[in-house]
Amino acid sequence: MGELSREEMKNTLRVLVATDCHLGYLEKDEIRRHDSFKAFEEICSIAEQKQVDFLLLGGDLFHENKPSRSTLVKAIEILRRHCLNDKPVQFQVVSDQTINFPNTFGHVNYEDPHFNVGLPVFSIHGNHDDPAGVDNLSAVDILSACNLVNYFGKMVLGGSGVGQITLCPILIRKGSTSVALYGLGNIRDERLNRMFQTPHAVQWMRPEAQEGCQVTDWFNILVLHQNRVKANPKNAINEHFLPRFLDFIVWGHEHECLVDPLEVPGMGFHITQPGSSVATSLIDGESKPKHVLLLEIKGNQYRPTKIPLTSVRPFEYTEIVLKDEPDIDSNDQNSIIEHLDKVVQNLIEKSSKRVVNRSELKLPLVRIKVDYSGFMTINPQRFGQKYVGKVANPQDILIFSKASRKGRNEVKIDDSERLRPEELNQQNIEALVAENNLKMEILPVNDLDVALHNFVNKDDKMAFYSCVQYNLEETRNKIAHDADSLKFEEEDLILKVGECLEDRVKERNIHSKNDTDFGSKSSTAVGSAVSFSDDEDTVKASGSKSTRGRKVSSSAAEDTSTKTSTRGRGRGRGRGSSSSLKQTTLDAALGFRQSQRSATAAVQSTVNTDAMNSASSGEPRENEVEEINDSSENDESLPSKGRKRTAPRGRGRGSTQSKRGRKSDNSLVKRTFVGRDNGDDSEDEDNARKLLNKSQPRVTRNYGALRR
């Protein structure tokens, strides 16, 4: 603090940057249960000691998607101790806060008159604590509701196909320094990768140029939480996808500490990767010393200062190859154990020498990767029993691996994936369908894939129910939208459902696969709170979205400006003379919500009309739903060859018996006209001939091939 004069302090924004705190990691382990909380407490203490303006977190604040009550209580206690005080906040948020913080309150936490916030905390979500469920809530939303954390970067996926997102920055001003803070919470890497490569799928909002403050005067910071380095480029985000107007990027999710900012060649911005504050994977990258970054910004210049974390448990890692050790006999297991004991003892002594504060001596983490090619293995658990009370992980000190013939690079990749179970290449429903040459006839395979992902990884017990409910409502809305309420007759219901199902499958084939995401979009289906990215109603609603303002696409990232009016909030927090610096075109999201409500109302009115017509024809609503399902099965089973299906039993009028094993093309026509009067036989035959003569399109989907 003494290095900066008082005049420089008024114009210098000081930010402490940290990522991947993983609060609650191993909370049931008696030795390591408090490690994540001690590291987070030290981070908050450093923020107080350095008198920073705010603390910036880059995702994965919690380790679990649904943290335990104990974890939540400890996190709230730490934030209350360090964030609530009488220290004045020296910066102002001059953008439209209802867009930056889309919660019930809609403003930054330190402006709440009921709280004295001296240390604001800004955070995005990661892949561990991402939003889930019907209400699309994250564990960070709990801290935001408690007014302890400013939660930003929560995207609303709009549009069709791969989707569309709009990044609106938080405009911060302190003296003569202006900072535009962009946040992008975790999105599946495969999807975000395709979004960056799709024109206009990622929109960047820029501040509007004003007198005395041009667009180039803003220091642009991006905080994101994605894979950075990966063997498969589709499962990571390339730095060259990002726009060139950015100045500084905080990259979360990668646990290796690379805190020193590095410039990306040809892009003009610098990237810092603070890494995790607690070791969650016993690999070489996590054994490096942990740091946080103090970022001082003045104008368009910044000064980074890395600060080491002293409360982190020491971690020692090494690799040995048994065949390279001369004192080991391949036929003598005792010689292998003796050599490994010497290595462990050396690592324990090495970690004890690094300890600065002897009063807080902690048991170290020790990991030895052993290449046992040509040798026999030993039991790792039995080997670690002698080190209980000496190391923090006696059960997994050793990990054995074999050198691959193709090279040792593959071994490293396999080992790192085995140590990080959240990044395993899990087999999804789409792959299972492709392997067994199956054909999904009722529910789309990508919807089931997302439902399974939410059910397993996010513990969403309503995932499959929401998937079925959505597809049912989508079919109803499609029929109600296309049918003429005056000419819609009861006997045409089955044929109409078949045509509707074919149209839906065709439209889904046009769109990209795996673009559905539960809880990440607003719903337009009637009676369902979950929607998907390829919803026809959502496409119509987003089509009426206002496009006013200034946007920069991810492909071009050019500077284009359009002046529009911005929303006033009437509270006057931090506005005054800075009101002209408000961000442009932030009414687009509001226009989308209004158009969405109108679209939903239109669908509801159409469904009500359809329900009245069905009631007047004397047919119960339940039978109508069953006929929809029956016709959809039969209609899609017609084009397939070499398969036999059991025709479902309909409970509507006219279905008196079930026919099993029938594979005739006339089955659908016969079922349609069963139960009609004999006087209409000639008309029925003409309609049947017309239906059979009409070429039925074959609906096929290639689920095995990867995306091009």
Task: Show which residues are catalytic.
Answer: 128
Task: Please choose, from the candidates 97, 64, 76, 47, the residue with its C-alpha nearest in 3D space to the C-alpha of residue 144.
Answer: 76
For residue 238, what are its two tokens? 């390339």
The three-state secondary structure class of 319 is: strand
Alpha helices in 283-324 (DSSP H): none
The Cα angle at residue 139 between residues 310 and 588, in degrees rounded to 5: 115
**Residue 295 β-bridge partners:** 15, 304
Contact between 454 and 446 under an 8 Å Cβ cutoff? The reply is no
- Sheet bearing 315-321, strands edge to edge: 315-321, 365-371, 398-401
Alpha helices in 331-408 (DSSP H): 333-354, 380-384
Task: Please choose, from the candidates 114, 104, 159, 128, the residue with its C-alpha nearest in 3D space to the C-alpha of residue 522.
Answer: 159
Map 130-181 to HEC letters.
Answer: CCECCCCECHHHHHHHCCCCEECCCCCCECCCCCEEEECCEEEEECCEEEEE
Give dist(CA 126, CA 255) in Å, integer: 13
- Residue-by-residue DSSP string for 232-262: SGGGS--GGGS-TT--EEEEES--S-EEEEE
Give dist(CA 224, CA 118) in Å, integer: 25
Count how many Cα atoms sit within 13 Å of the Cα of residue 461 in the half-sphere of its side chain. 1
Give dist(CA 286, CA 257) in Å, integer: 7
Cα-based distances in Å from 277 to 49, 57, 337, 385, 540: 18, 11, 33, 28, 45
Give dist(CA 152, CA 243) in Å, integer: 20
Task: Please choose, from the candidates 265, 607, 235, 180, the residue with its C-alpha nearest in 3D space to the C-alpha of residue 424.
Answer: 235
Give dist(CA 162, CA 157) in Å, integer: 9
Give dist(CA 427, CA 599) in Å, integer: 37
What type of residue sits at position 177? T
For 225, the enclosing helix (H) or strand (E) is strand 219-225
Contact between 115 and 107 under an 8 Å Cβ cutoff? The reply is no
